Structure 1
Amino acid sequence: MRLTLLLDMAADGFGDRILAGRRSGGMTAAELARRSHSGAALIRERAADSLVYLDVNGPAFPVALFAAARAGVPLVPLNYRLGQRQLDDLLAKHPNALAIAAPGALANFERAGRNAMTADGWLRETAADRGEAGEPADGDENPVAVVIYTSGTTSAPKGVLLRHENLVSYVLGSVEFAAADETEAALVSVPPYHIAAVANVITNLYAGRRTLVLEGFTPDQWLRTVREEAVTSAMVVPTMLARIIESAADRSVPSLRSLSYGGAPMPAALIERALREWPGVAFVNAYGLTETSSTVALLGPEDHRAALASADPAVRARLSSVGRPLPGIELEIRGPGGEVVGPGQPGRICVRGGQVSAEYAGLGRAVDDRGFFDTRDDGYLDSDGYLFISGRTDDTIIRGAENIAPAEIEDVLLRHPAVLDAVAFGVPDSEWGQRIEAAVVARPDADLDPAELRDFTLQALRSSKTPDRFWVLDALPRTETGKLLRRMVPGLVAQADSDERTAAPRP
């Protein structure tokens, strides 16, 4: 089953309903289907074997996704924030691609001796009637639908191959066809090269929900858009939610019924405040990876409400979990020797299911002999099957042979009323192997005393998990989707240390 079947079902079931863009001038399901045929014909005319997309999110993106699917070639959304050399390296992997690029990015293709069209040009081209595109002639029953390159924060980006069956399996396992009312609208604030952008296009389309994109996020613009477009559901990353909740603007969202979040750990104090700020909004925490076609575990609205209202510490703690696996997902926590461990015991999170791709360009599938994918995330399940994420395996701090999850320390730091953002990390130490340090960002107009912050941390954690030194920075390095760039933190700390030494009075 291909992605185009989802679009054709939508066009047949509610073809006149606007599914992409704003209420005024948006694109209907029928128009999106027509454009996908035209775009597929164009791809074939150019003899392209892929469709590269190097621009911000917008109405051209869903057309590109379904046109590529109908043509039987992959869509390759690239990170427009990458440097010239990185982009050149990625573009070299797709020499026969048809390309869509922002006006300022066209030079990247000119350097490679290739042409590209702008998003506006793509929309003009796909408005032309080229007839219905037939099935691809290659006979591949399950071709690659999308190639998403990993962020490459610690190594060269790898191309994750998401096949049609992976994405369709995700949709069918998580969304009911035509479940949305025609007045429903979803606001998306993630770039097109993130799996959440792809997932939002296909799930909202299948449900019959209009999707609109906020290309440049600001909390004030987000709040205005929710009100002006009568947005009923939205997706944010934790850093966005923090800025929205901290905003001095009008934070009323009368139309908003549900808010999903993910992409990075959500501080418990922040979600508690958001639940109280918007008591009528249903909150959903989604955990997933590019390799799993988006969400594999979900903390639903009732879970949020029950945790907030409960006096039981175990139930209350679930606000810091990512909920329970989706019905089509099998999940195991594995110990150091690969053995499956029981509730409350930490280990590596491994998943299996139809939506799990775990396939990389040139490398094949990274699954074991039982079909399980090692996410390289550490975590544990509680006695009721709620999943708690401890962090990436590579981020673990090893102090005196004790494995310490930075997330545990960060969660405590973020509960301090003067702390806006925080990261804990290990630095080499001759006695302990690593010692713990932390960098924090102060809330506006707040004073942070490192000694007082250490005492605050000690009240919640034993001394072996309390940072030996605290750094106060102006900001932490994060991607636009909220992912913390841990590898950059030591450099910022070193610069802060250098500035501090330079500013110190000389004897």
Structure 2
Amino acid sequence: MSIALLLEMASSNPDRTAVVSGELRLTTGELSALADGGAGVIAASGASHVAYVGMGGAMLPLLLFSSARAAVPVTPLNYRLSADGLRELIDRLTQPLVVADDEYRAMVEGAGKQVIGSDEFLAAAHTAEPAAEFADPEDVGVVLFTSGTTSRPKAVELTHNNLTSYITGTVEFDSAEPGDAALICVPPYHIAGVSAALSNLYAGRKMVYLPQFDAAEWIRLVRDEGVTSATVVPTMLDRIVTTLETQGTALPTLRSLAYGGSKVPLPLVRKALDLLPDVGFVNAYGLTETSSTIAVLGPDDHREALASAEDAVLRRLGSVGQPVPGIEVQIRDENGNVLGPGETGELYVRGEQVSGRYAEIGSVLDAEGWFPTKDVAMVDEGGYLFIGGRSDDTIIRGGENIAPAEIEEVLVEHPAVHDCAVFGAEDPQWGQIIVAVVVPADGASPDPDELREYVRGQLRGSRTPDRVVFRDELPTSPTGKVLRRELVDEFTAAKS
């Protein structure tokens, strides 16, 4: 089915508030009417693709559904890129209409593409001749570019069927209570931003947008808008917890808080659970190529793991839970053999929501429809999935493969460590050495040798960091992923 049908179904309750974005409030009926008009604007332009450069808010769901009703794909772009970076990506799209927020318009004009401001698009959508057609379910609905931190960004193609399979398989239609509201602060160009717009509308929740994250403003919106659910990345969760601790603020309406995008340190998870005992925490794991979440550690899993005295159950607090309905997982070794419970290898996934297709490259699914995630993973005896980081991050020291995550999980438990990241640096003797970058806890001045001995006491000697360096904070992407390449470059430059 087309993602346009999600809005059509939700419009059965036309007076419900669908979007709150700054001063703008739209009911479901108003959003649907604007999407029809927006489709007319796109159709009249003759464009074969829509690109969006902006911070999101109401523009994201409007462009998602306008493009769907015009039967052309849409691509939200990373507004943090340079003008050259944006134009390079836009040039890879076929006959695009570029919609840009005012502050980014100058960056994309003059490149020979049709450009319209977001406010202009919104105004035109009010008066344009409506257009509405349903795309073929196998047509591409959304194209998202990967981050491209170490290589040329790939353009992931998600069909309408990929996206709607995820939504209808994981969300019950119109299941939200009348007062339910979701606070959305993930970037529009990330799959979590796309899926949040689709899933919350389908469930019947009011969507409250916070385009620029600020912990105090996040807390204010939760209180003022009666927010019942929210999704954050690790850096956001850390700042929210710190602000709540400082202010002593209560969040009485919040019932569900999902976190994901990158691995969250367990001490932070435990602190958040203690601080918000009435909130159901959800750890969600997914990829762009899988149309968002493929595994979930739910509220009951969190509570059970936190309270358990059994090591196997307690350890599951560090997992991403179990696969969502419709998703199959396999762990394979380097020769493609399927591994059993407790064995570590590369994660492969399969299901209708899985695309695994890139523009200019084609599908990378194998003959049986399995997608190679490039993530190191393990499934335990209970079916809980553990992610050990990207296979590209594996450290090879003296011929031994070492996952940074296993060292990070130990090191972050030291009382003097707030956060940490581990990577491999080139070394003439060992091939690579282990470097640990540590963010000290407030008021702490940890000794490097003490931290090394702490790790040595819990892991094999070969896992002991060769170097420990300190930093005020870790460099992260807007979705919370640690930018290891920056740390490697910084360490290499300091040595030379």
Contact in 1 for aligned 2:396/2:431 (Cα 8 Å): yes
Contact in 2 for aligned 1:350/1:374 (Cα 8 Å): yes
SS in 1 for 2:388: strand
| Among 356, 369, 374, the residue aligned to 1:376 | 374
The aligned runs of 1:459-470 (5 Å cut-off) are 459-470=457-468
The aligned runs of 1:130-141 (5 Å cut-off) are 130-135=129-134, 140-141=136-137
Counterpart for residue 73 of structure 1 = 72
CA displacement at 1:401 relative to structure 2: 1.9
Letter in 1 for 2:36: H
The aligned runs of 1:29-48 (5 Å cut-off) are 29-48=28-47
Letter in 2 for 1:189: C
Counterpart for residue 146 of structure 1 = 142
Contact in 1 for aligned 2:40/2:125 (Cα 8 Å): no
Counterpart for residue 319 of structure 2 = 321
Matched, 1:157 2:180: no
The aligned runs of 1:89-238 (5 Å cut-off) are 89-94=88-93, 96-128=95-127, 130-135=129-134, 140-238=136-234
**Distance in 2 between residues matched to 1:430 and 1:134, nearest whole Å:** 61
Cα distance change on mapping 1:111 and 1:421 into 2, 3 Å: farther
**Distance in 2 between residues matched to 1:413 and 1:269, nearest whole Å:** 11
CA displacement at 1:497 relative to structure 2: 5.1
CA displacement at 1:37 relative to structure 2: 0.8
Letter in 2 for 1:16: D
Deviation >3 Å, runs of 4+: 22-25, 494-498
SS in 1 for 2:457: helix
Deviates more, 1:213-222 or 1:92-101: 92-101
CA displacement at 1:361 relative to structure 2: 0.3
**Distance in 1 between residues matched to 2:134 and 2:330, nearest whole Å:** 39
SS in 2 for 1:26: strand
CA displacement at 1:430 relative to structure 2: 2.8
**Distance in 2 between residues matched to 1:22 and 1:80, nearest whole Å:** 18
Contact in 2 for aligned 1:220/1:249 (Cα 8 Å): no
Contact in 1 for aligned 2:70/2:131 (Cα 8 Å): no
Cα distance change on mapping 1:111 and 1:29 into 2, 3 Å: same
CA displacement at 1:221 relative to structure 2: 1.4
**Distance in 2 between residues matched to 1:401 and 1:251, nearest whole Å:** 51
Matched, 1:267 2:257: no
CA displacement at 1:135 relative to structure 2: 4.4
Contact in 2 for aligned 1:324/1:386 (Cα 8 Å): yes
CA displacement at 1:475 relative to structure 2: 2.3
SS in 2 for 1:21: strand
Aligned residues: percent identity? 49
CA displacement at 1:132 relative to structure 2: 4.8
Cα deviation 1:415-471 (Å, max 9, x = unaligned): 122222211111222332221111111233321221221122222222110101100
CA displacement at 1:250 relative to structure 2: 3.6
Cα deviation 1:86-130 (Å, max 9, x = unaligned): 212111123521111122221233230334222222211112252
Cα deviation 1:211-252 (Å, max 9, x = unaligned): 111111121111111111111000001111111112223432
Cα deviation 1:347-372 (Å, max 9, x = unaligned): 11000000000110011111001100
| Aligned residue-pair number | 494
Matched, 1:7 2:7: yes
Letter in 2 for 1:79: N
Contact in 1 for aligned 2:99/2:118 (Cα 8 Å): yes
**Distance in 1 between residues matched to 2:181 and 2:314, nearest whole Å:** 31
Deviates more, 1:233-242 or 1:418-427: 418-427
**Distance in 2 between residues matched to 1:427 and 1:109, nearest whole Å:** 38
**Distance in 1 between residues matched to 2:353 and 2:334, nearest whole Å:** 26
CA displacement at 1:54 relative to structure 2: 0.2
Letter in 2 for 1:49: S
Counterpart for residue 292 of structure 2 = 294
Counterpart for residue 456 of structure 1 = 454
Contact in 2 for aligned 1:366/1:373 (Cα 8 Å): yes
Gaps of 5+ in 2: none
Counterpart for residue 84 of structure 1 = 83
**Distance in 2 between residues matched to 1:400 and 1:259, nearest whole Å:** 42
SS in 2 for 1:117: strand
SS in 1 for 2:151: coil
The Cα RMSD (Å) is 1.5
SS in 2 for 1:369: coil
Counterpart for residue 434 of structure 1 = 432
